[in-house]
């Protein structure tokens, strides 16, 4: 791995790009303006047809730290894997191409790693609905966890989600891992393995990432069979936990229940979706009692589990509760 400016390590910033040209310049400007300068910025144009690829090339001419990969469309996992295959940095962080970051995003995550001798550092995001939205100012708080405790935090959705953004990783964590190609919720698929490979994880409550909310994102598109991947991956996580950390099986049950609830909330209650509904409802019924009797489960999860006893339509009416449940 490369060492660079004044001995500071090279940090690879991975930016998958697909048809986001109206947002891309804001994203790239926020990255090239970082207070931490020794960056390798990997822009992966995943077969864009809206001019995003040309914008990437324009910025590569503007900043020598930028490398552009043009490839056929293969999805988010394929794009990230393409960058991981060629990166030369000591650390990795990811930024989605429709989002943007504070000018000290990289420096903050790097300092968290160094000061806490950690393998993964995390900050928080701010959901952005308009240009008027500002970051929340809160007193700085950090927490250091071992891998197992971090897995438990994730399964119960405490303080962080699986999303690749808002995190910095030691590069070697990805030597034996790749994002699963063709899957939605790809971050969720490998988060427990990443945490399990880590000795120390540091979490900060500071918001450094602007998470832009837009209706045409993957999360906002119409329901399709790939939306069911969340349930499949949750079950894969449960199998991983059962094998490697059986004492966390209650937490894994909670994650399976939450995955089913999240998928249910995205499903239109129309007749042509009933085959999906049957699968989802069986999963909800399987885990709801386990969540209710789990002392460590969030109150919001218990309320949702109790509400399922009123039936599918009653649960749908109570969808407002879902807004308090994390999306990933």
Tell whether the model's pLDDT for residue 169 goes beyond 80: yes
Q: What percent of the chain has pLDDT over 70?
A: 91
Question: What pLDDT is recorded for position 78?
Answer: 97
Question: What pLDDT is recorded for position 327?
Answer: 46
Sorting pLDDT into bands at 50, 70 and 90, what band is 328? very low
Q: Where are the domains of the chain?
A: 5-212, 222-324
Question: What pLDDT is recorded for position 1?
Answer: 42
- 3 state DSSP class of 13: strand
Sorting pLDDT into bands at 50, 70 and 90, what band is 271? low
* CATH number of this structure's domain 5-212, picked from the four choices 3.40.640.10, 3.40.50.1010, 3.90.550.10, 1.20.140.10: 3.90.550.10
Q: How far apart are the first and last CA of the chain?
A: 31
Residue (of 46, 56, 70) closest to 23 by Cα position:
56
Alpha-carbon Rg for the chain, nearest whole angstrom, is 20
- 60-64-70 Cα angle (round to 5): 35
């Amino acid at each position: 791995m490369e060492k660079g400016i004044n001995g500071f390590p090279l940090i690879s910033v991975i930016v998958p790009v697909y048809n986001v040209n109206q947002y891309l310049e804001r994203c790239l400007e926020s990255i090239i303006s970082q207070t931490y300068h020794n960056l390798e910025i990997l822009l992966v144009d995943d077969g864009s047809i809206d001019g995003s690829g040309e914008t990437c090339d324009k910025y590569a001419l503007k900043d020598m730290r930028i490398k552009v990969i043009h490839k056929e469309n293969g999805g988010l996992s394929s794009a990230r894997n393409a960058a991981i295959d060629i990166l030369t940095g000591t650390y990795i962080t990811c930024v989605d191409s429709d989002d943007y970051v504070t000018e000290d995003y990289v420096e903050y995550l790097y300092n968290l790693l160094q000061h806490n001798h950690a393998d993964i550092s995390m900050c928080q995001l701010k959901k952005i609905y308009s240009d008027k939205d500002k970051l929340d100012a809160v007193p700085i708080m950090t927490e250091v966890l071992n891998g197992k405790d971090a897995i438990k935090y994730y399964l119960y959705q405490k303080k962080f989600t699986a999303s690749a953004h808002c995190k910095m990783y030691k590069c070697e964590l990805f030597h034996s891992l790749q994002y699963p190609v063709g899957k939605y919720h790809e971050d969720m698929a490998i988060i427990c393995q990443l945490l399990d490979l880590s000795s120390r994880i540091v979490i900060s409550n500071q918001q450094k990432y602007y998470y832009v909310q837009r209706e045409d994102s993957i999360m906002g598109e119409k329901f399709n069979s790939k939306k069911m991947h969340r349930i499949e991956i949750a079950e894969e996580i449960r199998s991983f936990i059962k094998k490697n950390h059986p004492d966390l099986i209650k937490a894994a049950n909670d994650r399976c229940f939450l995955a089913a609830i999240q998928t249910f909330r995205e499903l239109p209650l129309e007749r042509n979706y009933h085959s999906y509904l049957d699968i989802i409802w069986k999963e909800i019924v399987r885990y709801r009692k386990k969540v209710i009797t789990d002392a460590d489960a969030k109150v919001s999860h218990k309320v949702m589990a109790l509400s399922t006893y009123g039936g599918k339509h009653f649960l749908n009416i109570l969808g407002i509760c879902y807004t308090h449940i994390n999306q990933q």
